[in-house]
Amino acid sequence: MAIFKLAISENPTIRPEKRLLGELYENLEFYDDYDPKDLRASFIEACNLVCAEILPVGNSELTIQGYGLEWKEYRKYLDNIFPEILDAISDLKNNKPTKLVFYDVGSERAIKFFQGGNGSTANIFYSKCYSLTSDKDIGVDEVIDRNNLIDQLISLVGTFVKFSESYYPSVYADFLYPYLREYDLGTVIEGAEAGAIGPWGVR
């Protein structure tokens, strides 16, 4: 069974927001062509720094399971699935095929999600994992309930949103929320704020 989940410690060891903001502005100033109106670019830069705070041992646990494969090393790279995970959620909600890409040092994997042929139900998606290094399918195929998959991915994003808003409110308000808002991900934002997307802060 395919599982995607992010859990964050109740007392993570992280840098204060002032230091994170300083590094964020310094990084953005490095790009000569940076446009503050480019919400995606701002989101990605801020997301990379926030993810770097989330993932150290003791702060969080990113769970990826399924396909008969070992995912231990891929769990270290949460930033690589943002913002593509937002695209995947949108595609799945619209019954469109989509994918997620996971990176490790020198090895990349992609998971494809797609509906079956004639006779398959709208809520059932088929899924294959393939190596981007060899361009071949690997592991075993999975059959996933579409709504369950959407809920898992929304919960993962919701946990990220809740962490960001709680510990880095200025980064969230100025660099993360504007892109999420443009993406029409109100369910993710509202659910995270209300704590309605399952428990967070519990290891």
Secondary structure percentages of the chain, helix, strand, coil, to 5:
45, 25, 30
> H helices within 31-145, ranges in order?
39-54, 84-93
Predicted TM-score (pTM) of the model is 0.85
Cβ-proximal residues to 102 (8 Å cutoff; 6+ apart), any chain: 64, 71, 74, 77, 80, 81, 108, 109, 110, 111
CA angle, 87 then 88 then 91, to 5°:
85
pLDDT digits (tens, 9 = 90+) for 155-180: 898 889 889 999 999 999 999 999 98
Please name which of 124, 98, 194 lies closest in space to residue 155, comparing C-alpha atoms.
194
pLDDT at 63: 87
pLDDT digits (tens, 9 = 90+) for 184-197: 665 555 655 554 34
Domain assignments of the chain as residue spans, ordered by start: 15-194
